Amino acid sequence: MSDRVKDIDLSKKLNRQESEERVLAAQRRLTQLRLFTAGLLKPSDVGPGLIVIFEGFDAAGKGGAIRRLTAGLDPRHVRVVPVGPPTPEERGHHFLWRFQAHVPGRGEMTVFDRSWYGRLLVERVDEGLDTKASHRSADEIVEFERMLVNDGVTIVKLWLHISQDEQLRRFNDRANNPLKQWKLTPDDWHNRSMRPSYLEALESMVAQTDQAHAHWDLIGAEDKHYARVAVLETLISRWDHDLSRRGFEVPPAHGGDYLL
């Protein structure tokens, strides 16, 4: 197993109180940055578009993290795109074609709940995408993301990682709770049975597509309280850095009417 995947720390935890306090502080900062990049905090110009990609094992907590990410944002200012299997029409095009319409323009924000990385994960593991095609697709993704970044888009890529034992515990919790049973599908159990192959695909994906213009942040999500904070604070750090890199005078975090 590659060092980056092997070294994901699954032991990190936060208690509920600290987690909620830090989530609230992060949501306030995200609201500030979102208004700033939308050109709504004077004086400010419209900033770069923002793409946030969520990937991870089933039941890793992507949905809960996305809800906390978007909770304080005006829904007119952020689009959440859940990505499922491609339709027959989409399969008739290049695999990146179906994502083009969701790429944010300047001052806009899109959150992908799964993404074009399904090409290097599900399609490789479950659909038999061969090694040559997988490597070619990885190169195309790198160039696609480079094109977006050069055109003025910030890309933040997050992988939420959980152990096999924790995943089983969460699956069983869903199976035994009538209010959560809808979250568990036969595909989830199938994917779990293919974990070694998914780990291999993950290692290759990170090795090939972790680039200076679009890093992968691998977050231990064994403890949901920690993971939610890590997701928001990582996004803020990456967003702050990219705005500064592009020459924007990023406002300091402070109180104001935009706060929740």
- Give dist(CA 121, CA 162) in Å, integer: 16
Q: Confidence band (pLDDT; 50, 70, 90) for 18?
A: very high
Delineate the domains of the chain, giving CATH numbers in brackets: 3-245 (3.40.50.300)
Whether 121 and 200 have beta carbons less than 8 Å apart is answered as no
> So what's the pLDDT on residue 254?
65
Q: Model confidence over 210-256: pLDDT tens digits?
A: 999 999 999 999 999 999 999 999 999 999 999 999 999 998 986 54
Whether 210 and 233 have beta carbons less than 8 Å apart is answered as no
Percent of the chain with pLDDT over 90: 88
> So what's the pLDDT on residue 76?
84
Q: How many CB atoms lie within 10 A of CB 44?
A: 17
> So what's the pLDDT on residue 259?
38
- CA distances for 130 relative to 27, 75, 97, 124, 125, angstroms: 42, 40, 20, 7, 9
Flag whether pLDDT at 260 surpasses 80: no
Query: pTM for this structure?
Result: 0.94
Around 18, how many Cα atoms within 13 Å sit in the side-chain half-sphere? 8
> So what's the pLDDT on residue 77?
85
Q: Confidence band (pLDDT; 50, 70, 90) for 258?
A: very low
Q: Model confidence over 28-81: pLDDT tens digits?
A: 999 999 999 999 887 778 999 999 999 999 999 999 999 999 998 988 889 999
